[in-house]
Amino acid sequence: SATLDLEHPICVKSCPQNSSTQHRCFAGSQDTEVFVDDDAPESFHLVQDYETYHVAGRYCFPRSPSVQQQLRLKFDWSQQVLLFGFSQVSTAWAVLLASGMLAMFFGCIFLLYFERMGQFIIEFSVVLAVSLPVLT
C-alpha cells in the first residue's frame, strides 16, 4: 500500500493512471537510492505511482480506499468536505443536474399552485382561525 507524503507534494503533467510509472519525490531521511537534482537543493528518490483521478482540474486524488483513508486522517472535517465532497461532483454531475431540474420543476408547480389557490388558502385559514377557538 502507498504511503502519502503530504508535507512535500509534487507537480505532475497528468495524474497517474496505474502503478506502471514512477515519480521523483523528496527522500527525507529514508535510506533509499538518492540523487540530487542540479536545479533543486533537496534529495529525491523514485517512488512507485498509484492509480489516481483528477479533482477540480488541479489535484490527483487516489482511487485506493486505503490511500484515501490516509487523506481523511490528515484533514479536519471542513477540509474533508472540500476535498472528498466536491471530488464527487465530477462523477455525479448527471444526478446533480437531474435533481436541480426537478427542484426547479416542483418550485414552479408550487408557485403556480399558490398563485391559483392563494386566495382560497388565506380565506380558509381565516375561517379556521376564527372557528376553532369558538368550537373548543
Residue 46 bridge partners (DSSP): 24
∠ CA 31-22-68, nearest 5°, is 90
How would you write the pLDDT of the chain (136 residues) with one tens digit per residue?
567 777 777 788 888 888 888 888 777 655 444 445 555 555 777 888 888 887 766 778 888 888 888 877 877 777 767 766 776 777 788 888 999 999 999 999 999 988 888 889 899 999 999 998 887 7
> Nearest to residue 44, comparing CAs of 33, 53, 59?
33
pLDDT at 2: 64
Model-wide pTM > 0.85? no
Other CB atoms closer than 10 Å to residue 14's CB: what's the count?
8
